[in-house]
């Protein structure tokens, strides 16, 4: 049954994905699924929130991605005294020309790693989040478009809570995906050690695709078809979170939108021209769970948002 | 709320000890307590639990029917209660060996069946404590009657409560209190028992005023001379079905006596002779066949497997009565013996005939202490020179004009006997007075007479479409020997039935319904056609098993949940592709797909469950093509569609081959 051939465009996009994925895997050992998640958020134009412990490779992952596709990369370490201008940039007076000259902040890069985003004050956080939602910043009353692709990888430390400003629920919604890298297997860790004796592999990593390829990939994601029935299935899942027990606030339509885009990207990566139910189910937890606000009782009884979403996926009948 | 270790086993053993059902109790206790040694558990879905609950229900129903047949009185309830631990055992075993160690209450009720419940509304309970309570309840019904039950119950309750005690107080204090409570309970139940015994005595005294339930063929103690109100029970003792309403017998005789002494009638020298049945064993001939006969069918209940038949006068043939032995005495009293208490028989009779033996010396005897009053009345009646027929009419008229019916028992007061007082002073009484007085009066006048007891048939039940005869319809009358034939003479005022009915309880219809239910049930089970009808229950069981058993599916470790209806609906508009044939085929093998599982995940799971079949591998390309047809809005070409169908056909062919 070799007649099920994807079109050339799809093959091409799949190849781009494979190339980037392989390239990142040179650096990130044993993180295939994390790379897949990261790339599908990247290709679908969403942002990623990594909740993970220090030293698990968050920065490396972001760097490897940016090096692989030859785009600019900036890292912002969030601290309580960080100001919006530290992110967006600042207009400075040029004494010679007697005009204000805009000094671009780190946000004017293609890939941004916002490290420990919950350490900055809400004011600073919202400056970043506006940029994430609208792909633009307003500085001194001027709108400045950000360059495409614009991709934010924010990280949070799940353990420390002293001196942090947890992201408001509304702002959690801006992230397409939340996931964690987790610790890798001991074998992978041994490999990692032996490879880094001489030099860090990230230094040798070479770009494997160019900017055009990436933009084309993003275009291709939008071309992936999805049937009415699957849209309904997807909406049913999101809808069920709004009436689920223990959930105070369910996922928004923005959540549905993000889930659809992620499913499209996954379908493309797998060489499909259309979305299948598996693609919706695959990352539904990562897309939806962080958008839910749980009731305090449910939280205390150990019910997590992720378990709620998993239960919903297990209960909503899938179209076959 | 976990039950303390071994307490369920102890409860079961206790139950087995009290009821003697060791055969069940020991294996059950081992099964339940063995769960602590066995580490594996099943994952039961709600549907499974529901099936097991249905199993328990079926056991209960069959037990109920069986016990009702075995013991048609209300006391079968006690036996039923004793069996309760067996009935509910499947549920307990399910809980013990399930992952959750809890049972969803909603599955136990048929009303909540079929998922009209919301997904998260599950009321789970641990039924261990209920089960322990059931064991104690069942043990209590064995009613051994010694202290062992109380001690056992107390110890079991104490063990069950031990884990629930408040930790604020020391265990010693708790023990003291529970012992105090136990002692108080013991004293209390002794008091209750005393009260019960007293009450029973009271009831016995009160009840003994009423009629003796079973008529003795040799003697009959009358209520003559007692004081108070005659009270008889409303219980239905006979059912009389007639061919047409008019031809019915008004009076059914049970026994006849001829010797009166001190308010008791005795049958002197009854001389019972065995009656031989005809060849079929159910037809009994008591006299010569008569041309002008009527037929009635009587349904009655024997007590302790033997009793007297109630027959109309002139009965010459009894049909369809499968008794093991029948005897008849010379006064026309018929005694039968049968293994089952319920009897139904057809009677052919002619009221104008009489098969009783001619009068003997005893039929003219009058006790000395009654002679004074009898002679006084006889003088009033002025019977000199009159024919026996005229005397009988005179006596009948005398009672009709001067006497009234009453349920008040007057006693004897200053007179030598109660009968004398009845004749000379009160002139009111119940049928026994009338019948006794009439018999003795006629004897004094030189006419042979006997005292007969039986029932009056006058209440037609529209509900059952036949006559019903209650215990309080019991009647007594005189058999008088006129024209060489025994004839009925009933001098009791005709309005006695109305007075009796007025005195009856207004709530009698409830017991009537229960009685009818019992009667019908016995009738259905005891009838000839259904003698082997028990076998019909097996198809019924099979049907039930099919209904509740569902498909033979292999259980996978996964949890099925009830789905919200609105979402479940979307499953209905599924594509009309032939792919569902494959799914159906695999379903038949027990490889079911969960409704929330996509096809590819399903295939993956089947492979992970190591179902070694290339059939599963063959499905992958089919699913790929099918997905395109199903989920690609652009769809597939006509040629691809036929190809998909042919692939599916190929797969199905292969499936059939593999299966063979």
Choosing among B596, B619, B646, which should be mutated to test the A contact, i.e. which has the most A CBs within 10 A? B596
Domain assignment present for residue A213? The answer is no
| Mean pLDDT comparison of A238-242, B111-115, B147-151, B274-278, highest-scoring range | A238-242
Domain assignment present for residue A3? The answer is no
Asked if A319 is an interface residue toward chain B (Cβ–Cβ < 8 A), one would say: yes
Q: Which residues pair with B474 in a beta bridge?
A: B455
Same domain assignment for residues A235 and A281: yes
CB contact under 8 A, A278 and B640: no
How many pairs of residues across A and B have Cβ atoms under 8 Å apart?
Answer: 92
Domain assignment present for residue A312? The answer is yes
Same domain assignment for residues A314 and A228: yes
The alpha-carbon gap from A238 to the nearest alpha carbon of chain B, in Å, equals 12
In chain B, what residues touch A229 (CB-CB under 8 Å)? 570, 573, 631
The alpha-carbon gap from B39 to the nearest alpha carbon of chain A, in Å, equals 26
Q: Average of pLDDT values for B207-230?
A: 62
Q: Chain A: residue nearest B567 by CA?
A: A316
pLDDT of residue B562: 39
Domain assignment present for residue B121? The answer is yes
* Domain end among B164, B188, B212: B164
Domain assignment present for residue B101? The answer is yes
Same domain assignment for residues A64 and A134: yes
pLDDT of residue A94: 85
Same domain assignment for residues A98 and A243: no
Asked if A1 is an interface residue toward chain B (Cβ–Cβ < 8 A), one would say: yes
Say which range, A196-205, B555-564, B581-590, has the weakest mean pLDDT.
B555-564
Nearest by Cα to A68 from A25, A103, A107: A25
Same domain assignment for residues A140 and A278: no
- Distance CA(B643)–CA(B649), nearest Å, equals 10
Same domain assignment for residues A296 and A190: no
Provide the CA B430 distance to its chain's centre, in angstroms: 34
| A226, A228, A320: residue with CB nearest B598 | A320
Q: Which CATH number does the domain housing residue A235 bear?
A: 1.10.8.80
- Distance CA(A133)–CA(A130), nearest Å, equals 5
Chain B residues with CB within 8 Å of chain A CB: 119-120, 559, 561, 563-564, 567-568, 570-571, 573-574, 579, 583, 593-601, 621-622, 624-625, 627-628, 630-634, 640, 643, 647
CB contact under 8 A, B634 and A228: no
Q: Average of pLDDT values for B603-617?
A: 76
Q: Which residues contact A271 (CB under 8 A, 6 or more apart)?
A: A6, A10, A11, A14
Given a cut of 70, whether residue B565 has pLDDT beyond it is no
Q: Average of pLDDT values for B277-296?
A: 78
Q: Are B284 and B278 in contact (CB under 8 A)?
A: yes
Domain assignment present for residue A79? The answer is yes
Residue B69 structural domain: 7-164
pLDDT of residue B117: 46
| Beta strand B404-405 pairing with B219-221 | unpaired
Same domain assignment for residues A51 and A198: yes
In chain A, what residues touch B621 (CB-CB under 8 Å)? 1, 4
Residue A309 structural domain: 224-320
pLDDT digits (tens, 9 = 90+) for B69-118: 877 777 788 888 888 898 889 888 888 888 877 777 777 776 555 544 44
Exposure of B126 in the CB half-sphere (CA atoms within 13 A): 13
Q: Which residues pair with A77 in a beta bridge?
A: A115
Q: Chain B: residue nearest A274 by CA?
A: B632
Given a cut of 60, whether residue B529 has pLDDT beyond it is no
Domains held by chain B: number? 2
Q: Are B424 and B346 in contact (CB under 8 A)?
A: no
CB contact under 8 A, A320 and B574: yes
CB contact under 8 A, A319 and B597: no
Domain assignment present for residue B636? The answer is yes
- Distance CA(B482)–CA(B449), nearest Å, equals 9
Res. B569 pLDDT band, cuts 50 70 90: very low
Q: Average of pLDDT values for B464-471?
A: 83
CB contact under 8 A, B596 and A317: yes
> Exposed, middle or buried: residue B379 (CB in 10 Å: 0-12, 13-18, 19+)?
exposed
The alpha-carbon gap from B121 to the nearest alpha carbon of chain A, in Å, equals 9
* Domain end among B134, B164, B194: B164
Asked if A79 is an interface residue toward chain B (Cβ–Cβ < 8 A), one would say: no
CB contact under 8 A, B599 and A274: no
Same domain assignment for residues A272 and A123: no
* Domain end among B147, B164, B181: B164
The alpha-carbon gap from B135 to the nearest alpha carbon of chain A, in Å, equals 35
Q: Average of pLDDT values for B502-530?
A: 71
Q: Average of pLDDT values for B503-523?
A: 75
**Cis peptide leading into residue B271 (ω within 30°):** no
Cα–Cα distances (Å) from B412 to B6, B207, B416, B420, B425, in that order, read 68, 21, 7, 8, 10
C-beta neighbour count of B141 within 10 angstroms: 17
- φ/ψ of A250, rounded to 5, equals -80, -175
In chain A, what residues touch B573 (CB-CB under 8 Å)? 229
Residue B423 DSSP class: I
Domain assignment present for residue B439? The answer is no
Q: Chain A: residue nearest B625 by CA?
A: A4
Assign 3-class secondary structure to B267-310: CCCCCCEECCECCCCCCEECCCCCCCCEEEEEEEECECCEEECC
- Distance CA(B193)–CA(B525), nearest Å, equals 39
pLDDT of residue A259: 93
- Distance CA(A119)–CA(B117), nearest Å, equals 45
| B595, B632, B640: residue with CB nearest A273 | B632
Domain assignment present for residue A192? The answer is yes
Res. B571 pLDDT band, cuts 50 70 90: very low
Domain assignment present for residue B139? The answer is yes
pLDDT over 90, % of chain B: 2
The alpha-carbon gap from B597 to the nearest alpha carbon of chain A, in Å, equals 6
pLDDT tens digits for chain A (320 residues)? 344 455 677 788 888 888 899 988 888 888 888 999 999 999 998 899 988 887 888 888 888 888 888 888 888 998 889 998 888 888 888 888 888 888 888 989 988 988 888 888 888 888 887 788 888 888 878 888 888 889 998 888 776 667 788 888 877 888 999 998 888 888 888 888 888 888 888 888 888 888 888 888 889 899 899 998 899 999 999 999 988 888 888 899 999 999 999 999 999 998 888 999 999 998 999 999 999 988 888 888 888 889 999 999 988 888 87
Residue B73 DSSP class: S
- Distance CA(B37)–CA(B24), nearest Å, equals 21
Nearest by Cα to A112 from A172, A141, A140, A153: A153
Domain assignment present for residue B322? The answer is no
List the 130-189 stretch of A: residues with Cβ below 8 A of B: none
Q: Among all chains, which residue has been given the structure tokens 């009854």?
A: B270
Domains held by chain A: number? 2
Q: Chain A: residue nearest B624 by CA?
A: A4
Q: Chain B: residue nearest A1 by CA?
A: B621
Same domain assignment for residues A59 and A199: yes
In chain A, what residues touch B647 (CB-CB under 8 Å)? 1
- Distance CA(B631)–CA(B598), nearest Å, equals 12
CB contact under 8 A, B631 and A314: no
Asked if A313 is an interface residue toward chain B (Cβ–Cβ < 8 A), one would say: yes
Nearest by Cα to A286 from A24, A50, A42: A50
Provide the CA B276 distance to its chain's centre, in angstroms: 34
CB contact under 8 A, B598 and A278: yes
Q: Average of pLDDT values for B252-278?
A: 82
Q: Which CATH number does the domain housing residue A195 bear?
A: 3.40.50.300
Res. B383 pLDDT band, cuts 50 70 90: confident
| B624, B631, B640: residue with CB nearest A227 | B631
pLDDT of residue A262: 93
Given a cut of 50, whether residue B559 has pLDDT beyond it is no
Asked if A311 is an interface residue toward chain B (Cβ–Cβ < 8 A), one would say: yes
C-beta neighbour count of B303 within 10 angstroms: 9
Q: Chain A: residue nearest B646 by CA?
A: A1
Same domain assignment for residues A166 and A272: no
- φ/ψ of A107, rounded to 5, equals -70, -20
pLDDT of residue B184: 92
| A4, A240, A281: residue with CB nearest B598 | A281
Cα–Cα distances (Å) from B327 to A61, B202, B295, B356, in that order, read 107, 37, 21, 14
Domain assignment present for residue A200? The answer is yes
Domain assignment present for residue B503? The answer is no
Tokens of B47: 């549907």
User: Cα angle at B477 between B473 and B480, to 5 degrees?
Assistant: 155
Residue B4 DSSP class: P
pLDDT of residue B247: 56
List the 217-246 stretch of A: residues with Cβ below 8 A of B: 225-230, 232-233, 236, 240, 244-245
Domain assignment present for residue A214? The answer is no
- Distance CA(B648)–CA(B660), nearest Å, equals 18
Domain assignment present for residue A218? The answer is no
List the 248-287 stretch of A: residues with Cβ below 8 A of B: 273-278, 281
- Distance CA(B254)–CA(B476), nearest Å, equals 10
């Amino acid at each position: 049954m070799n007649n099920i051939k994807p079109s050339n465009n799809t093959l091409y996009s799949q190849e781009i994905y494979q190339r980037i994925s392989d390239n990142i895997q040179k650096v990130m050992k044993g993180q295939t699924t994390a790379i897949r998640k990261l790339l599908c958020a990247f290709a679908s134009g969403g942002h990623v929130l990594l909740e993970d412990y220090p030293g698990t490779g968050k920065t490396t992952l972001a760097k490897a991605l940016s090096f692989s596709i030859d785009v600019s990369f900036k890292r912002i370490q969030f601290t309580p005294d960080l100001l919006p201008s530290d992110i967006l940039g600042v207009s400075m007076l040029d004494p010679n020309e007697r005009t204000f000259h805009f000094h671009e902040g780190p946000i004017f890069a293609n890939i941004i790693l916002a490290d420990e985003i919950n350490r900055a004050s809400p004011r600073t956080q919202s400056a970043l989040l506006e940029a994430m939602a609208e792909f633009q910043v307003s500085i001194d009353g001027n709108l400045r478009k950000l360059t495409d692709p614009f991709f934010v990888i924010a990280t949070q430390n799940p353990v420390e809570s002293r001196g942090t400003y947890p992201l408001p629920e509304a702002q959690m919604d801006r992230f397409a995906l939340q996931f964690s890298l987790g610790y890798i297997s001991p074998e992978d860790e041994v490999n990692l050690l032996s490879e880094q004796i001489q030099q860090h592999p990230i230094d040798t990593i070479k770009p494997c695709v160019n900017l055009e390829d990436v933009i084309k990939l993003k275009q291709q994601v939008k071309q992936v078809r999805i049937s009415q029935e699957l849209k309904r299935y997807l909406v049913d899942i999101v809808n069920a979170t709004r009436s689920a027990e223990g959930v105070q606030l369910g996922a928004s339509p923005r959540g549905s939108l993000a889930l659809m885009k992620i499913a499209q990207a996954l379908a493309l990566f797998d060489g499909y021209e259309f979305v299948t139910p598996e693609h919706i189910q695959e990352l539904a937890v990562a897309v939806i769970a962080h958008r839910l606000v749980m009731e305090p009782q449910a939280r205390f009884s150990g019910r997590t948002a992720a378990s709620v979403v998993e239960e919903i996926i297990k209960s909503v009948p899938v179209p076959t | 709320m976990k039950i303390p270790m071994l307490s369920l086993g102890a409860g079961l053993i206790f139950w087995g000890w009290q009821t003697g059902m060791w055969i069940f109790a020991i294996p059950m206790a081992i099964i339940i307590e063995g769960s602590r040694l066995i580490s594996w558990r099943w994952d039961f879905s709600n549907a499974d639990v529901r099936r097991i609950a249905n199993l328990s229900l079926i056991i209960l129903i069959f037990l109920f029917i069986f016990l009702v047949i075995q013991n048609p009185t209300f006391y079968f309830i006690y036996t039923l209660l004793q069996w309760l631990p067996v009935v509910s055992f499947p549920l307990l075993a399910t809980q013990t060996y399930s992952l959750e160690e809890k049972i969803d209450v909603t599955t136990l009720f048929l009303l909540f069946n079929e998922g009209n419940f919301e997904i998260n509304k599950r009321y789970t309970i641990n039924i261990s404590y209920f089960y322990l309570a059931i064991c104690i309840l069942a043990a209590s019904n064995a009613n051994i009657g010694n202290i062992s039950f109380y001690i056992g119950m107390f110890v079991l309750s104490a063990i069950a409560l031990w884990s629930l005690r408040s930790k604020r107080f020391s265990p010693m204090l708790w023990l003291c209190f529970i012992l105090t409570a136990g002692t108080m309970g013991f004293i209390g139940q002794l008091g209750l028992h005393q009260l019960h015994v007293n009450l029973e005595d009271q009831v016995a005294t009160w009840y003994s005023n009423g009629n003796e339930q079973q008529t003795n063929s040799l003697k009959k103690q009358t209520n003559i001379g007692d004081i108070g109100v005659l009270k008889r029970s409303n219980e239905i003792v006979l059912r009389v079905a007639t061919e047409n309403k008019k031809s019915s017998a008004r009076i059914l005789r049970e026994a006849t006596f001829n010797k009166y002494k001190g308010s008791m009638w005795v049958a002197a020298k009854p001389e019972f002779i065995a009656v031989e049945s005809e060849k079929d064993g159910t037809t009994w001939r008591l006299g010569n066949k008569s041309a002008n006969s009527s037929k009635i069918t009587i349904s009655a209940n024997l007590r302790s497997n033997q009793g007297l038949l109630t027959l109309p006068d002139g009965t010459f043939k009894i049909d369809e009565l499968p008794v093991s032995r029948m005897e008849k005495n010379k006064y026309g009293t018929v005694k039968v013996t049968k293994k089952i208490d319920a009897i139904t028989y057809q009677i052919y009779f002619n009221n104008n005939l009489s098969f009783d033996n001619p009068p003997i010396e005893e039929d003219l005897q009058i006790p000395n202490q009654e002679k004074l009053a009898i002679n006084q009345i006889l003088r009033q009646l002025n019977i000199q020179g009159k024919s026996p027929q005229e005397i009988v009419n005179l006596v009948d008229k005398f009672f009709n004009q001067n006497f009234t019916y009453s349920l008040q028992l007057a006693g004897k007061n200053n007179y030598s006997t109660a009968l004398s007082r009845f004749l000379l002073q009160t002139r009111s009484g119940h049928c026994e007075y009338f019948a006794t007085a009439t018999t003795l009066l006629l004897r004094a006048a030189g006419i042979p007479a006997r005292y007969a007891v039986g029932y009056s048939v006058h209440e037609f039940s529209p509900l059952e479409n036949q006559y019903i005869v209650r215990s309080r319809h019991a009647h007594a009358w005189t058999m008088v020997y006129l024209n060489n034939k025994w004839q009925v003479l009933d001098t009791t005022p005709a309005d006695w039935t109305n007075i009796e009915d007025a005195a009856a309880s207004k709530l009698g219809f409830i017991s009537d319904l229960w009685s009818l239910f019992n009667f019908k049930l016995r009738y259905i089970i005891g009838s000839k056609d259904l003698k082997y009808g028990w076998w019909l229950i097996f198809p019924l069981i099979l049907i039930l098993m099919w209904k509740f058993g569902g498909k033979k599916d292999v259980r996978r470790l996964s949890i099925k949940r009830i789905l919200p209806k609105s979402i479940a609906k979307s499953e209905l508009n599924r594509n009309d592709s032939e792919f569902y044939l494959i799914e159906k085929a695999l379903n038949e093998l027990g490889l079911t797909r969960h409704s929330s599982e996509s096809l590819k995940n399903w295939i993956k799971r089947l492979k992970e469950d190591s179902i070694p079949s290339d059939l599963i591998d063959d499905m992958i390309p089919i699913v790929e093509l099918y997905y395109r047809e199903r989920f690609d809005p652009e769809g597939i070409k006509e040629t691809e569609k036929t190809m998909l169908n042919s692939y599916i056909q190929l797969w199905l062919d292969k499936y059939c081959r593999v299966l063979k």
